């Protein structure tokens, strides 16, 4: 007698296998085994002629979905069917959430088992949890399955109905999505607010007072009993004081006059107030709060956070990481309290166990918060984890343990002092008992350092005391525009508005960036001009679909379908085919949308039009000579495009570049220009004999107006030959690149060794000795997640003899051979990855035109791959052809998104 257990990923299968008897066989489905067709080639011949086939949903037959087994899953399905032949029982052990329930249902439909079936669920992978789950199996919850299928169909209807409209009216390859488009609109609205923002200026005074050799700061708050204006008193749209506010706005002259008037005058304490404050710990992590804190503390993106958390869960370190719940089981509370008792002492333990409840009505993804797995919590040091895995586990461990710790008791102190008619305020904070802050401070990496930073100690003061003024100064301020969204703040906003599900936020943000709707720069999500155009079109013609309230109500209805409170078919019929349904709206609106207008972005205070073209955004303006077009630099954001920049770009196009001066040696003119990639200098004019004049980009952060002839001449000497390397005799150069200034040791065919140049070193002045010193230092990893050492060494290439290794990259693990990189699929684990599989991936990537390598390497890779996979070229050709189809663009994007997530179930937004 044998039992077949099916889970989603190989890592999860390996972990569970250790906790089950030898008669149990555990296999992985590698995520979904069935889905709606993602390309034209996946549509069965029998229905290819049907007009609904590309949609993948038969809207005329009760929205019946067309489910197909993707080509890359057919082998897996066959293996599962073969395994089932030898089994006397089938246990479906996919994750306990909507998507996990759906995967189990699809497996049931495909495998059609004739043996007894059980549904096993758990939210942590420990021996105790698995054994307990075995004794509490249940049936598949068909209501949850129906809710997930409705969600999948709804997302397909929105994406596949609106996206083609965007292709026709704005640009090829764009996409719309039920949650994605709302998220993009949030980014655009914030950028519009930044454009509308008007800066305000104000001045105040700051003083350094002293009493009993203890110094403390004081800030001006009143003059003549009238409140002094600060940033909160300004209207962001006018840059002026908000109408009706009775405040005193000081300018520089008035502030300095007041400073002079109070010099050497006595200061007196007029009031002192002490206010006790109690702070309670935050609840344990949910999916959303984990993504927010990992972004703030560890600078991890949502996709990266979920990939690492998925790995920690599957290896048995944490509980299930897709959850809306803050609830902790009795077992978890006991484990957390034991940690507090052992590590911090009984005084730091909350008097009573803290029990958290979830306020969100739709919270149903799992039944417990994200916490360390097991009945006892391993400290981070006991796990054997390292790197970013360790840091994320450490974050989860601290948050969970802190949730059962005592309150923090603080005293907030406010002191008012008077000098002449000017009133000053000093604020202090005293931590009387740190409580949970000993373990965890939200937004801070180091709790102990954070405690020190939080305390602001004031001297012992009483009313009537006369502190000494050691220093005082007038300080000018300017109000700041609303901050752009980070991944953390966008996730927080989506959750607070009830838009989407936290488990999908990572893939949604990934899609927004991948599709060119936003750029992630310095942790800020900056919308592009394309995002402006798409959002304007949707706001104008399909306002409900980008309205947070409407989308939130859709989410509630989907939750109600899961609980049986709503019927799925009437809802889909009303949404899509009703009188005001999506299909009807698109049909009516398509003819009314002018493509030229849709591709145009109108910005306040800008006379020229911003248009979306095949190669990006550009300016368009009428002049005496006719229509003028000028490219907009890629790093210029919508909020920062002002009339002066527009004038410069158009003038550069009509009158030619701005002449800086003449080169002292050649006599050729030197120009300062702005191109698609930002400002640069150019030597000489473009002519028949000089089609590509010498050009050099300006260093990042350098304003074009600050460029001198000498600086331009120096830039035009790049790359600078610094000399030869004493060991190899190869040349060493300094240059500017995409990632900034660098030095390079160029050994020709042997390879190039690069090092970044950081301040105070300068690319224009660095010498050979300093370059050699930099080159002798260990090479830093590029990006947060890429490791300088391989995750796994696979061995030597059978033909070239070069090593083939697996590395950790920004979008997940990848295999590298020479200059060819190939990403592992979302369901492939590093532990089980083989040299043979690496050769297959590398051959496929090379056949598709990815990477550069020597002819010998190319030949050997193809030869080795031919032994393992004879159909590589056909596969590549099919992929190329598929790109021409309407639906294949979605497949390409889905694959890119899937690469970013290891062993994760893919939720497609469009």
CA end-to-end span of the chain: 44
**Please, which residues bridge with residue 431 across strands?**
410
Other Cβ atoms closer than 10 A to 442: 15
Q: Where are the beta strands (DSSP E) in 747-811?
A: 752-756, 792-796, 803-809
Place of tokens 């989907």: 558
User: In the structure encoding, which two tokens stand for residue 354, read together?
Assistant: 């803290």
- Phi and psi angles of residue 94, each rounded to the nearest 5 degrees, phi first: -75, 170
Asked whether 889 and 516 are in contact (CB, 8 A), the reply is no
Helix and strand totals (H; E) in the chain: 26, 31
φ and ψ at residue 511, rounded to 5 degrees: -65, -40
CA distances from 13 to 26, 125, 527, 531, 612 (A): 6, 10, 41, 41, 48
Q: Is residue 718 within 8 Å of 696, Cβ to Cβ?
A: yes
Which ranges of 406-547 does DSSP label H, i.e. alpha helix? 447-454, 487-496, 502-514, 529-541
**Residue 682 host element (H or E):** strand 678-683
Rounded to whole angstroms, the Cα distance separating 240 from 233 reads: 8
For residues 765 and 741, give the distance between their C-alpha atoms in angstroms, rounded to a whole number: 12
C-alpha span between 33 and 67 (Å, rounded): 10
Residues known to be catalytic:
320
Angle between helices 142-169 and 98-111 (to 10 degrees): 100
- Cα(862)–Cα(875) distance, integer angstroms: 14
Largest CA distance in the chain: 95
* HEC sequence for 515-537: CCCEEEECCEEEECHHHHHHHHH
Q: CA–CA distance from 167 to each of 129, 180, 538, 804 (Å)?
A: 49, 16, 13, 41
Residue with tokens 């249902």: 105
């Amino acid at each position: 007698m044998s039992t077949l257990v099916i889970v989603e990923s190989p890592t999860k299968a390996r972990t569970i296998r250790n906790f089950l008897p030898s008669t149990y066989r555990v296999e992985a489905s590698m995520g979904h085994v069935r889905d709606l067709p993602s390309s034209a080639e996946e549509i069965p011949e029998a229905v290819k002629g049907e007009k609904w086939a590309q949609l993948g949903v038969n809207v005329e037959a009760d929205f019946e979905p067309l489910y197909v087994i993707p080509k890359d899953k057919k082998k897996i399905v066959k293996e599962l069917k073969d395994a089932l032949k030898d089994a006397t029982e089938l246990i479906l052990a996919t994750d306990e959430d909507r998507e996990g329930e759906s995967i189990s249902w699809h497996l049931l439909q495909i495998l059609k088992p004739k043996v007894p079936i059980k549904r096993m669920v758990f939210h942590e992978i420990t021996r105790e949890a698995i054994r307990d789950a075995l004794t509490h199996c249940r049936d598949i919850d068909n209501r949850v399955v129906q809710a997930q299928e409705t969600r999948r169909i709804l997302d397909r209807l929105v994406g596949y109905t609106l996206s083609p409209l965007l292709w026709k009216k704005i640009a090829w390859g764009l996409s719309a999505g039920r949650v994605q488009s709302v998220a993009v609109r949030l980014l655009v609205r914030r950028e519009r607010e930044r454009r509308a923002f008007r800066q305000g200026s104000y001045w105040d005074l700051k003083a350094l007072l002293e009493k009993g050799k203890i110094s403390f700061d004081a800030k001006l708050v009143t003059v003549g009993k009238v409140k002094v204006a600060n940033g909160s008193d300004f209207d962001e749209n006018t840059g002026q004081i908000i109408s009706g506010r009775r405040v005193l706005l000081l300018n520089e002259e008035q502030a300095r006059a007041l400073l002079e008037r109070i010099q050497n005058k006595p200061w007196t304490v007029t009031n002192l107030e002490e206010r006790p404050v109690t702070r309670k710990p935050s609840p344990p992590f949910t999916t959303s709060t984990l993504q927010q804190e990992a972004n703030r503390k560890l600078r991890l993106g949502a996709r990266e956070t979920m990939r690492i958390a998925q790995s920690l869960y599957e290896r048995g370190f944490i509980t299930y990481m897709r959850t809306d719940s803050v609830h902790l089981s009795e077992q978890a509370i006991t484990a957390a309290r034991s940690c507090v008792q052992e590590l911090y002492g009984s005084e730091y333990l909350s008097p009573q166990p803290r029990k958290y409840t979830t306020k969100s009505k739709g919270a149903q993804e799992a039944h417990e918060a994200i916490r360390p797995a097991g009945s006892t919590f391993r400290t981070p040091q006991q796990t054997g984890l390292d790197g970013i895995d360790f840091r994320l586990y450490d974050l989860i461990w601290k948050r969970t343990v802190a949730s059962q710790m005592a309150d923090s008791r603080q005293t907030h102190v406010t002191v008012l002092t008077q000098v002449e008619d000017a009133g000053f305020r000093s604020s202090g904070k005293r931590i009387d008992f740190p409580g949970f802050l000993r373990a965890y401070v939200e937004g801070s990496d180091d709790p102990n350092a954070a405690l020190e930073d939080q305390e602001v100690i004031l001297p012992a003061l009483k009313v009537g005391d006369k502190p000494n003024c050691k220093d005082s100064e007038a300080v000018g301020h300017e109000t700041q525009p609303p901050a752009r969204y980070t991944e953390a703040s966008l996730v927080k906003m989506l959750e607070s508005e009830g838009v989407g599900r936290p488990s999908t936020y990572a893939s949604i943000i990934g899609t927004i960036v991948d599709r060119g709707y936003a750029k992630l720069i310095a942790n800020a999500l900056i919308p592009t001009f394309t995002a402006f155009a798409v959002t304007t079109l949707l706001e104008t013609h399909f306002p409900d679909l980008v309205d947070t309230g409407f989308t939130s109500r859709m989410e509630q209805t989907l939750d109600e379908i899961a609980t049986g409170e709503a019927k799925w078919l009437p809802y889909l019929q009303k949404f899509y085919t009703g009188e005001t349904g999506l299909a009807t709206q698109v049909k009516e609106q398509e003819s009314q949308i002018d493509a030229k207008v849709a591709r145009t972005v109108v910005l306040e205070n800008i006379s020229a039009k911003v248009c979306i073209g095949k190669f990006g955004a550009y300016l368009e303006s009428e002049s005496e000579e006719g229509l003028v077009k000028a490219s907009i630099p890629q790093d210029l954001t919508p909020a920062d495009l002002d009339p002066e920049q527009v004038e410069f770009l158009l003038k550069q196009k009509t009158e030619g570049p701005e002449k800086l001066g003449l080169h002292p040696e050649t006599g050729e003119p030197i120009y300062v220009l702005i191109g698609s990639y930002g400002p640069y200098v150019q030597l000489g004019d473009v002519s028949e004999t000089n089609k590509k004049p010498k050009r050099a980009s300006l260093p990042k952060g350098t304003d074009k107006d600050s460029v001198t002839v000498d600086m331009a001449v120096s830039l035009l000497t790049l790359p600078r030959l610094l000399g030869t390397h004493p060991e190899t005799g190869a040349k060493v150069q300094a240059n500017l690149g995409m990632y900034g200034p660098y030095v390079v040791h160029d050994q020709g065919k042997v390879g190039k060794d690069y090092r970044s140049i950081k301040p105070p070193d300068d690319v224009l002045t660095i010498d050979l000795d300093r370059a050699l010193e930099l080159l002798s230092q260990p090479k830093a990893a590029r990006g947060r997640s890429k490791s300088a050492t391989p995750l796994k060494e696979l061995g030597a290439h059978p033909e070239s003899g070069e090593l083939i290794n697996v590395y950790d990259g920004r979008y997940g693990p990848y295999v590298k051979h020479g200059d060819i990189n190939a990403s592992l699929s979302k369901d492939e684990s590093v532990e089980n990855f083989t040299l043979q599989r690496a050769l297959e991936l590398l051959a496929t990537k090379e056949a598709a035109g990815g990477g550069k390598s020597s002819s010998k390497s190319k030949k050997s890779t193809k030869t080795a791959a031919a032994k393992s996979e004879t159909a590589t070229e056909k596969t590549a050709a099919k992929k190329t052809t598929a790109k021409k189809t309407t639906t294949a663009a979605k497949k390409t994007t889905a694959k890119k998104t899937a690469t970013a997530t290891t062993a994760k179930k893919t939720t497609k937004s469009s």
